[in-house]
């Protein structure tokens, strides 16, 4: 979250920060709806996939 906020602050000041935070909020709402979550409390560890959780056919070179 840090970089987009800092970049938008540098580019457009407070208005830029408001825009990027609104975008992040809207994206989170869409993602939560697609996952069937109505609130942040509904998000569990099962909803989060991190790099080492994914099975691999071959190791990365």
**Is-above-0.85 flag for pTM?**
no
pLDDT at 47: 86
* Each residue's pLDDT tens digit, 26-56: 999 999 999 999 999 999 988 887 777 666 6
Q: What is the DSSP letter of 5?
A: H
Q: State yes or no: pLDDT of 21 exceeds 90.
A: yes
For residue 50, give the 3-state DSSP assignment: coil
pLDDT at 52: 72
Of 4, 54, 61, 51, nearest to 27 (Cα)?
4
Q: What is the DSSP letter of 60?
A: -
Q: State yes or no: pLDDT of 9 exceeds 90.
A: yes
CB-based burial of residue 20 (10 Å sphere; 0-12 exposed, 13-18 middle, 19+ buried)? buried
């Amino acid at each position: 979250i840090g970089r987009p906020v800092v970049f938008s602050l540098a580019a457009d000041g407070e208005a830029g920060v408001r825009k990027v935070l609104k975008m992040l909020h809207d994206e989170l709402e869409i993602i939560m709806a697609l996952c069937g979550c109505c609130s942040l409390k509904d998000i569990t560890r099962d909803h989060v996939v991190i790099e080492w959780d994914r099975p691999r056919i071959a190791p990365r070179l």
